[in-house]
């Protein structure tokens, strides 16, 4: 019985550690080193056009509550920046793209540059301030009100 209790305690410790790591990484925008072979096209995005400056691709699921809040943030950022487009795609409707982008949880946000190369990604949503800084690098400085919270925005579905 002692061996079973120790195994159970070990499993609880490992599960807790994994949960804490995932929580700490949620929303963290990580830049990537994409190659030309990693370019995404409008066909990959279900026919949605790429933004002339950047595209914020959100991989979502119908049952994901965090996805709705993330869509508002991304739609707002896209609405405030010329040349930036927000595209929200359902993982169930786009399984090939989900596998290609290695989406393991929703929402996953993938930031594409003007050519369609993956510039950055975040799982479990995305930190607004980090996205603003990333978009500043891709599209130039933001307007003064860009960092403020504002409900609404535009997105393509």
Q: What does the pLDDT read at residue 152?
A: 34
Q: What does the pLDDT read at residue 122?
A: 87
Q: How many other CB atoms are found less than 10 A from the CB of residue 94? A: 18
> Which residues, including other chains, have CB under 8 Å from residue 153's CB and lie 6 or more apart?
72, 73, 74, 75, 76, 77, 78, 79, 80, 86
Residue 112 backbone dihedrals phi, psi, to 5 degrees: -105, 145
Q: What does the pLDDT read at residue 60?
A: 95
Nearest by Cα to 89 from 99, 79, 76: 99
pTM of the full structure: 0.71
What are the 10-residue block averages of pLDDT along the chain, 157 residues in total? 76 71 55 64 94 94 92 93 94 94 91 91 84 82 49 39
Nearest by Cα to 153 from 89, 85, 52: 85
Q: What does the pLDDT read at residue 146?
A: 47
CB-side exposure of 139: number of CA atoms within 13 Å? 26
- Which tokens hold the place of 128? 């607004």
Q: What does the pLDDT read at residue 154?
A: 38
Q: What does the pLDDT read at residue 143?
A: 56
Q: What does the pLDDT read at residue 93?
A: 95
Q: What is d(CA 141, CA 55) in angstroms, rounded to the nearest whole number?
A: 16
Q: What does the pLDDT read at residue 18?
A: 64
């Amino acid at each position: 019985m002692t061996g079973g209790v120790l195994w159970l305690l070990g499993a609880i410790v490992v599960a807790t550690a994994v949960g804490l790591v995932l929580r700490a990484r949620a929303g963290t925008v990580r830049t990537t080193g994409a190659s030309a072979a990693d370019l995404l096209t409008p066909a990959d995005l279900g026919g949605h056009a790429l933004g002339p400056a950047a595209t914020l691709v959100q991989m979502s699921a119908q049952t994901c509550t965090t996805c709705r809040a993330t869509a508002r943030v991304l739609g707002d950022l896209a609405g405030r920046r010329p040349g930036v487009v927000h595209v929200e795609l359902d993982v169930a409707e786009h399984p090939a793209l989900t596998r290609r982008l290695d989406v393991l949880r929703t929402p996953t946000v993938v930031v594409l540059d003007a050519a369609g190369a993956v510039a950055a990604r975040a799982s479990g949503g995305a930190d607004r301030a980090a996205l603003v800084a990333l978009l500043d690098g891709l599209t130039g400085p933001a307007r003064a009100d860009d960092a403020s919270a504002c409900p609404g925005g535009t997105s393509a579905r």
